[in-house]
Amino acid sequence: MEPSFPLALEPQSGELTVLTDELIERTIAASRNSQRKRIILPFHDGASNTLHRMFNAIQPGSYIRPHRHQNPAKDEALLLLRGALKFFTFHEDGRVDQVRNVAANTTEFGIDVRAGVFHTFIATEQDTVVFEVKPGPWSAATDKDFATWAPEEGSDECADYLDQLLRNSE
């Protein structure tokens, strides 16, 4: 079933896209109005592009189900442009492996996660913006291997799961 709300803004067009504060502000505004409390602004041409680059604007309370990029194997890099987040990695059974506090304009401002590692992140400040890069092409069927031990996005258990992760990471 397709969601009834946008997952992303329209991609930028042209041979050159200058990354500006105006683009960040537009993405933040859309995330504030999103049912998911997040939205991406892609800079790549489409799903078939071999390198996906995007702003991901996230508000606190947005649930990103733990997942990994395994088949096909894809590494992923995140750089914080604004705000802060907690980045979690997990063991196969769902136990938290690592938690990193990552924030813009600090000594820990990004994450590079290897393919096959279960992970998620939670915005801890309003209007958090990540510049995200990972290999394409994108396919809904294979992009993410979702953790079976974590609630599905949109389920009633999401808020409790987020709270539990945050409580146990302090």
Specify the pLDDT at position 141: 79
Q: What is the pLDDT of residues 14-58, one digit of tens each?
A: 788 899 999 999 999 999 999 999 999 998 887 778 888 999 999
* Cα–Cα dist 28/31, whole Å: 5
Query: In the structure encoding, which two tokens stand for residue 1, read together?
Result: 């079933």
Q: How far apart are CA 39 and CA 121, in angstroms?
A: 14
pLDDT value for 25: 97
The structural architecture, per CATH, of the domain 21-149 is Sandwich (2.60)
Q: Is the pLDDT of residue 13 over 80?
A: no
Per-residue pLDDT, 4: 52
Structure tokens at 90: 């997990």
Q: Residue 1's pLDDT band (boundaries 50, 70, 90)?
A: very low
* Residue range 132-160, pLDDT digits in tens: 999 887 877 778 999 999 999 999 999 99
Helix (H, G, I), strand (E, B) or coil at 134: strand
Mean pLDDT value across residues 81-108 = 98
Sequence-distant (6+) residues with CB within 8 A of 90 are: 66, 96, 97, 118, 119, 120, 147
Predicted confidence at residue 5, as pLDDT, reads 57
The token pair at 39 is: 């939205």
Beta strand 76-82 pairing with 118-123 = unpaired
The set of residues, in sequence order, having a beta carbon less than 8 Å from that of 62 and lying 6+ positions away, is: 31, 36, 37, 38, 122, 123
Residue 133: phi and psi, rounded to 5, are -135, 135
Report which of residues 147 and 71 the model is more confident about: 147
152: exposed, middle or buried (Cβ count in 10 Å: 0-12, 13-18, 19+): exposed
The domain ranges of the chain are 21-149
